[in-house]
Each structure stands twice: as structure tokens, then as C-alpha cells.
Structure 1
Amino acid sequence: MSSDGRARAVVGVSGSPGSMAALHRAVREARRSDAEVLAVLAWEPPGGELAHGRSMLAPPVSGLRRDAADRLLAVLDSAFGDTGPGVAFQGLVVRGSAGRALVETADRPDDLLVIGAGPRGPFRGLFPSVTRYCVAHAACPVLTVPPSPLEGELAALHRRISLGRAVDARELTEGGG
């Protein structure tokens, strides 16, 4: 429960299509259960904590945190505009890896942790899976939101274009194909 006794839907946001879908799903879940949404944007210094600590030219942490806060505000504005989400809402900027930041924020058994399921396809094994980390370590239920079918279609279109293959504009419309 939050400080006002309300349940919490904790959601990871980064601005990716998957995190945007998770954010909207968290708002729907919060509306259904009268919960508060905690939108968490995790950040780490460029190159990681160790490299940042050793670098004499590392940018100040306060500037990096401010940049992360600005990114969170931009994501929330993109998701909801001026109207807001229509539920009790709080944005949090947390220093650390995404998985750990989300699990440490969603630390109550009655929390709901909502995350995008992450990329599918040939590149999914190249990066640590935030989804797997959260499912393995969360102290609360975890709701993973799969990528939208449109995201997959756009990725396939992008691959075709990058490979120099022809794209028929009729394929981009509902009746095309």
C-alpha cells in the first residue's frame, strides 16, 4: 500500500514502445483497482558505475540525474499529454539497473509490477533481460505486457528497407498485401 493506503502499480518506463504499452496497461490496472501508479525510469552513468567512478572527465551525477528526470517527463508527456493518466500517479527516477530498480521499488507483496516483455527476435539474447530479472526476483506479482503486433510488423518493414528490398505501399494499408 502507498502512504495513503492505496495499492501500487509499479511500471518501468524508458520511452520504448514496450515500456509505453506497459505504462498504459499499468494505468488501466490502477484504474480497475483504485491503485496508485509509480512510473520508474532507471538510469546509470554512461559506461556504468565503475567507469564513471574512475573517469576524471565524467559528467556530474546531478546533471545525469536531471537528464533522466527530463527523459521521464518527456515520456509521460508523450504517453498522456496535458490530460495526465487520470489516476493517482507518481514518477520516480532511480539510479541503478532497470531490473534491480524495479524490483526494489515494487517491494511490497500487494504491489503489481508491470513491465514490457522486451524485444523478440534475433537480438533478444544480446542484452540482459529486465523481464527475466523481475520475474525471478520480485516480491510481488509481475505482469508482463507483450509487444504489440504492430511493433513486429514495423520491425519487419524496417529490416526489409535496411536490406534494400522493395516495399509496396499497398502493404502498409489495411487492405494491402
Structure 2
Amino acid sequence: MDAQITRVVIGVDTGPGSLTALRHAWAEAQRHGAVLHVIHAFGGSDPQQYGPACIGAPDLHAEQRRRAREELRKICVDALGRTPAELPITIMVVRGRPGAVLTRYADRPTDLLLVGAGSARLLKRLFTSSVTAYCFRHAQCPVLSVPAPALVREYGKGARRWNGWVRRQADEAAREALLHGASHT
């Protein structure tokens, strides 16, 4: 990298791996003396993520954005120990597909884009769209992939594979374990 990094951009979701990735992004921003931009893209792949949609609800997107912003604040507090207002970071909630949102925002050669490493399972990589792969293909800046901690990878082998409520419960259990210092090797 020839250019000085001035912005560190990271996309986070509601999964427990976001805690580790956000901590890594904060460390990179500190190391480079850069501003950290935390982005949560919603509505691109899981429209039910923030509750059921009501047909004809005039403020549905505003409500989804409000809930996503609340979740983003909680992730920042969980990962960094302080609210976004107490830190020199910028947070954004953007409607759209995560990969496209991130690469559109991290558009400078002096940006550093951090993304989760994604699934190591071959079948999942073959049949699903990977935000990480999209970012590596389309980014105009350096991209750093952050692997999920071992605890999160182990959850992925069990209950987290199921859809819906069970997956969300497994994510929350992994997040709590990561917050309270549990490790799994």
C-alpha cells in the first residue's frame, strides 16, 4: 500500500462475528490514525431481519432503519465498550445489498475495507452470494478479510445452520460468550 490510509470502512451485521471484526477495524483505524466508518446494510438479503413487514405500512423502511440503527449502536457498545457518540467513528445504516453498499462507500484508494471472511464450507460458497467475494472483486481500495473466531465457527457447525429463531438464539449465545471472554479452541 503506497497511500496513507485515511478511512477504515467496515460492514457489520447482527451475527456474532461482527464483534471480532469491529474490534479489528477499530485497531486498524487506531494504527493508521484513520477515521472508522461502521456501516450496516439492510434489506438486501434478509427483509425479515428486523421484524415482519406490514403490507401498506407507510413508514416500513423508516422503522426498519430505526431498528437497524439501534442494533448497530448495540454492536458498537458490545464490541468497543462505548457508544458511537463517545468515539471518533461514523455509523451509517444503508438500505441495499451489503457488498454493493460497502464497495460504493469505500471508493478511495486511501480507504481500507474490512469484511468478514465468510463461510469456509464449499457448498455454501458455491450456492450463495458472498459479501466478501463481492468486495474483493469490486473494491477500489485494499480489502482485509477478518476470520470469525473459533467459537463462532463451531456454532456454524451446529444449531446456527438452522434458519429462523434457532439461528438467532445461537448467534446471541455466541455473542454473549464472546462478550464475556469465553474462548473455544
- Matched to 2:110, the amino acid is D
User: Is residue 7 from structure 1 mapped to residue 13 from structure 2 by the alignment?
Assistant: no
* Residue matched to 1:138: 139
- Asked if the contact 1:31–1:87 (Cα under 8 Å) also holds between the matched residues in 2, the reply is no
Deviation at 1:127, TM superposition (A): 2.7
- Asked if the contact 2:19–2:78 (Cα under 8 Å) also holds between the matched residues in 1, the reply is no
* Residue matched to 1:168: none
- Aligned-partner SS, 1:118: coil
Deviation at 1:80, TM superposition (A): 2.0
Query: What does 1:1-177 correspond to in 2, within 5 Å?
Result: 7-44=6-43, 46=47, 56=56, 60-82=60-82, 88-121=88-121, 122-156=123-157, 158=159
Root-mean-square deviation (CA, aligned residues, Å) is 3.2
Instruction: Report the Cα distance in structure 2 between the residues aligned to 1:74 and 1:83, rounded to whole angstroms.
Output: 8
Instruction: Report the Cα distance in structure 1 between the residues aligned to 2:24 and 2:67, rounded to whole angstroms.
Output: 26
Output the TM-score relative to the length of structure 2: 0.70
- Matched to 1:25, the amino acid is H
Q: For structure 1, list consecutive stretches of 5 or more residues without a partner in the other structure.
A: 163-172
Deviation at 1:96, TM superposition (A): 0.7
Deviations 1:18-46 (A, max 9, x none): 32222111111111110110000001172
- Matched to 2:89, the amino acid is F
- Aligned-partner SS, 1:14: coil
Deviation at 1:86, TM superposition (A): 8.4
Change (3 A) 1:154 1:112: same
Instruction: Report the Cα distance in structure 1 between the residues aligned to 2:95 and 2:84, rounded to whole angstroms.
Output: 25
Output the TM-score relative to the length of structure 1: 0.73
Instruction: Report the Cα distance in structure 1 between the residues aligned to 2:60 and 2:83, rounded to whole angstroms.
Output: 34
Instruction: Report the Cα distance in structure 2 between the residues aligned to 1:134 and 1:95, rounded to whole angstroms.
Output: 17
The percent of aligned pairs where both chains have the same amino acid is 37
Instruction: Report the Cα distance in structure 1 between the residues aligned to 2:85 and 2:102, rounded to whole angstroms.
Output: 20
